[in-house]
Structure 1
Amino acid sequence: MRIADVLRNKGPAVATVDPGISVSELIGELSRHNVGALVVMEEDVVVGIVTERDVVRRIHERGRDVLDARVADIMTTAIFACLPTDTVDSLAETMTERRIRHLPVIVDGRLVGIVSIGDVVKSRIGELQTERDQLESYIDHG
């Protein structure tokens, strides 16, 4: 299965934030969108990604004063992205090796979606269910 198939099933919507908002506002946005990561955009260009993990680590390192910092101060700028033509299996491998849970999908410099580890797992479970159903049908009908 390709990432384009995952996006077709989940939709292309991606929650984004501006790098200038505060970490406190970021936490509100993560909660409002019920997501674990937001893509950071500046003038329609992806400039980073910020996750719950980033927030927790910075609070641990710097204390609660980090809540007044800007997203730009805590976001990850070394972004790993994928293409709609990439396979779910290759994405799972990348996520596992790099210990990341969210990958923006970027085409020609444009953000077209985001895939989470949950999306990858859901896709894989769907594939396994389809295989199981096909095997059961084969066994039942010879």
Structure 2
Amino acid sequence: MKVSDILRVKGGTLYTVSPDVPLSQAVQTMAELDIGSLAVMEYGELVGMLTFREVLHTVAKNSGNCGAGSVRAVMDDHPMSCTSQTDLEQVRPLMLQKHSRYMPVMDDRMLMGVISFYDVAKAVVEAQNFENKMLKAYIRDWPEEEAQPADKA
């Protein structure tokens, strides 16, 4: 299964923010939309990712509030990414190793979408469920063994 399969099911909605937006405004957007990440775009290019991880670190550092800074000050400016043709078997270990919950999908320099660890896990579970159904159907339809003639002694 390819990353493009996840994007096709997920749909084309992409949430972005400018790096110069106040962090408090970006957090408000994330809360209103019930999303865990925003792709940070500047001049049509991805320059970073803002996830709830960066927000939580900032809130902890600022005694419980997000401060007056901009998205640029806290975003991950070197997010790990993949392409739409990347196989999920490559994405899963990367996300686990880097503790990354969100990964931008880039084709050349074009942002195609963002996949989450949830999206990847859901796709894997659905693929396994389908495979299980096919295996059960195959076993259920297993041909009966023909009776073997008894050996004559």
The Cα of 1:140 is off from its aligned counterpart by: 1.2
Tell me which amino acid in the other structure corresponds to 1:94: L
CA–CA distance in structure 2, aligned partners of residues 25 and 67 of structure 1? 11
CA–CA distance in structure 1, aligned partners of residues 43 and 33 of structure 2? 21
- Any gaps of 5 or more consecutive residues in structure 2? 143-153
Question: What number of residue pairs does the alignment pair up?
Answer: 142
User: Quick check: which has more Rg, 1 or 2?
Assistant: 2
- Any gaps of 5 or more consecutive residues in structure 1? none
SS at match of 1:67: coil
CA–CA distance in structure 2, aligned partners of residues 34 and 61 of structure 1? 23
SS at match of 2:104: strand
Structure having greater relative contact order (Cα 8 Å, sep ≥ 6) = 1
* Percent of aligned pairs with the same amino acid: 27
CA–CA distance in structure 2, aligned partners of residues 98 and 12 of structure 1? 26
Q: CA contact under 8 A between 1:2 and 1:85: conserved in structure 2?
A: yes
Q: Which runs of 4+ in 1 moved over 6 A?
A: none
CA–CA distance in structure 2, aligned partners of residues 23 and 96 of structure 1? 27
Q: 1 or 2, which has the higher helix percentage?
A: 1
| Correspondence for 2:137 | 137
SS at match of 2:96: helix
Q: Please, what TM-score do these two structures have when normalized by structure 1?
A: 0.95
Q: Please, what TM-score do these two structures have when normalized by structure 2?
A: 0.88
CA–CA distance in structure 2, aligned partners of residues 52 and 80 of structure 1? 16
| Correspondence for 1:9 | 9
CA–CA distance in structure 1, aligned partners of residues 82 and 14 of structure 2? 14
